[in-house]
Amino acid sequence: MILSRYAICSGVVVLVLFALVGPNGGAAAREEVPRIISLPEVERPRQVCAEHGRVYIVDDRDIVVYSYPDGRFLRKIGRVGQGPGEFKVGPGRLTVLEDRLAVRNMFQVMFFSISGDYIGQLREPSYTGFFPYLPVGKNFVAFPHNRRQDGSFAPAVGCIYDGEGKLLKRFYPALPEFPQAPPPPGSGPPSKKPDALMVREYTDWLVQKGMIFVADSRKGLSISVFDEEGELLYEIVHKGDRVKMTKGFRESVLDERKKSKYAEYDNPVFPEFFPAFIGFKIDGGRIYAITPAQKDGLYEVIEMDLKGNSLKRGFRLPLTPRFDIPEAFALQYDVEDGQFLWVEYNEEKEIHELHIR
What is the block-wise mean pLDDT of the chain (357 residues), using blocks of 10 residues? 36 37 38 70 94 94 92 95 92 95 94 97 90 96 88 90 96 89 70 88 95 96 98 93 93 91 86 96 96 94 96 91 90 89 92 78
Q: What percent of the chain has pLDDT over 70?
A: 89
Instruction: List phi, psi (to 5°) of 215.
Output: -90, 135
For residue 115, count other CB atoms closer than 10 A to its CB.
12
249 burial type by CB count under 10 A (0-12 exposed, 13-18 middle, 19+ buried): middle
Global pTM value: 0.87
pLDDT tens per residue, range 35-57: 777 899 999 999 999 999 999 99
- Structural contact between residues 145 and 128, judged by C-beta atoms closer than 8 angstroms: yes
> What's residue 17's pLDDT?
37
Residue type, 84: P
DSSP character string of 162-205: -TTS-EEEEEE-PPPPPPPPPPPTTPPPPSSPPEEESS---EEE
- Structural contact between residues 111 and 94, judged by C-beta atoms closer than 8 angstroms: no
Angle at 319 (CA atoms; ends 317, 324), nearest 5 degrees: 125
pLDDT tens per residue, range 183-225: 776 676 677 888 889 999 999 999 999 999 999 999 999 999 9
